Structure 1
Amino acid sequence: MKNLPQKVRSRKLNSRVDLTAMVSVSFLLIIFFMVVGELSKPKIMDLSLPDNEWTGTGNYSCYKGVENRIITIMLDENDEIIMHKSIFDYPEIAPKKIEFGSNGIRKELKKIQTSILNYSASMGKPNRGAIVIVKPSKKSNFKNLVDILDEIAIAGIDTYSIVNDFSLEEEKLLASN
């Protein structure tokens, strides 16, 4: 017999793939998207407004039957706050200057909020707290507006509005200070 050429058998190589780099990149991508997702969430404060039951009374717009729940805070230059309770023509608490901080506006807002909540509960309408109207003047700064919104949130007042509409009497009061 003739020597037949023998078949050359190829040697099978180990087909193992190293996935270490792929796993590392995958974990980095997962971490990246988790961080981006967390940082892209908006950091906002909830704004609760009263129902649409507003009526006009003269130069003022006030909520039906709840004039005793309204607190008006006017912001002026040099970190000054002027506060009064109820509508300006018939204030329950006369307009007065008050300071920022825990012994100033925060203490006053908490005291008024507690008294309004107690009164509302005694009238059979629980959880009806104060309604704050914030009126920043053209001379006030944005920091004061943010500070007063923080104080309102700390005092536990849910219903507030930011208005830049001043009556003539309020403008005179700000100008005299």
Structure 2
Amino acid sequence: MAELNSSAGSLRGKGRTSTLSPKVDMTPMVDLMFLLITFFMLTTSLAKPFMMPLAMPVKASPGMEIADSRTMNLCIGKDNRIQWYMGKAENPLTAPEVTSLSTEGLREVLKSQNQSVQGLTGSREKGVIALIKPTDRSNYKNLVDVLDELKITGIENYMIVGTMPIDIERMKRSAIY
């Protein structure tokens, strides 16, 4: 509510009127603001965080035999480059090749290798199993890029594992470590 108070100050001369000072009562405004803040807090929906699902083993189990022709090793190096090969680290089926993490690089390699493995196994469910091996020279963005490319190409079976010394030696020879 607004009210006008008259000040009964000293009058210095005849004919002067007293001055009126307006005063605004802010109590109803404060009540209204608290009601509005409460309303918007209760009606706003907060953004839900998005997480990538991660499957963890329940307990330690003996190793599972996987055909070398399905295993693809992806060793992440420096300067957004990656070295890949098929098979085991000690005895690869294909010679290690270096490619970039671009769309034309890694994505095309993943597509072609997945199609060839599916052709060998005769099943769309039995595609490439990717072993992602980040090194201390790679960065987190490169790992996320590799995971994105696996998702885009439809490769659902992958693991993040440690790099073996033989992989580091091959990467040093290719100048990406």
TM-score, scaled to structure 1: 0.68
- Contact 1:136 1:164 survives alignment (8 Å): yes
Alpha-carbon distance between aligned partners in 1 of 2:55 and 2:126, rounded to the nearest angstrom: 13
Which position in structure 1 is the counterpart of 2:50? 43
SS of the residue 1:165 aligns to:
coil
Cα deviation, residue 77, structure 1: 1.3
Alpha-carbon distance between aligned partners in 1 of 2:87 and 2:167, rounded to the nearest angstrom: 13
Which position in structure 1 is the counterpart of 2:120? 119
Q: How does 1:49-88 map to 2 (within 5 A)?
A: 55=63, 63-88=64-89
Alpha-carbon distance between aligned partners in 1 of 2:62 and 2:96, rounded to the nearest angstrom: 23
Alpha-carbon distance between aligned partners in 2 of 1:112 and 1:72, rounded to the nearest angstrom: 12
Unaligned regions of 5+ residues in structure 1, if any? 1-20, 56-62
What is the total number of aligned residue pairs between the two structures?
141
Which position in structure 2 is the counterpart of 1:58? none
Q: Is 1:169–2:170 an aligned residue pair?
A: no
Alpha-carbon distance between aligned partners in 2 of 1:157 and 1:134, rounded to the nearest angstrom: 12
- Contact 1:48 1:158 survives alignment (8 Å): no
Unaligned regions of 5+ residues in structure 2, if any? 1-31
- Contact 1:49 1:159 survives alignment (8 Å): no
Cα deviation, residue 148, structure 1: 0.7
Structure 1 pair 106–54 and aligned structure 2 pair: CA distance change class (3 A): farther
SS of the residue 2:143 aligns to:
helix
Alpha-carbon distance between aligned partners in 2 of 1:130 and 1:87, rounded to the nearest angstrom: 13
Structure 1 pair 163–110 and aligned structure 2 pair: CA distance change class (3 A): same
SS of the residue 2:150 aligns to:
helix
Identity %: 26
TM-score, scaled to structure 2: 0.68
Which position in structure 2 is the counterpart of 1:92? 93
Q: Write the deviation string for residues 54-98 of structure 1: whole angstroms up to 9, x where unpaired.
A: 53xxxxxxx414221100000111112000011122222210101
Q: Is 1:130–2:128 an aligned residue pair?
A: yes
Structure 1 pair 92–165 and aligned structure 2 pair: CA distance change class (3 A): same
SS of the residue 1:105 aligns to:
helix
Cα deviation, residue 49, structure 1: 7.3
Could you tell me which amino acid in structure 1 is paired with residue 166 of structure 2? E
Alpha-carbon distance between aligned partners in 1 of 2:118 and 2:57, rounded to the nearest angstrom: 16
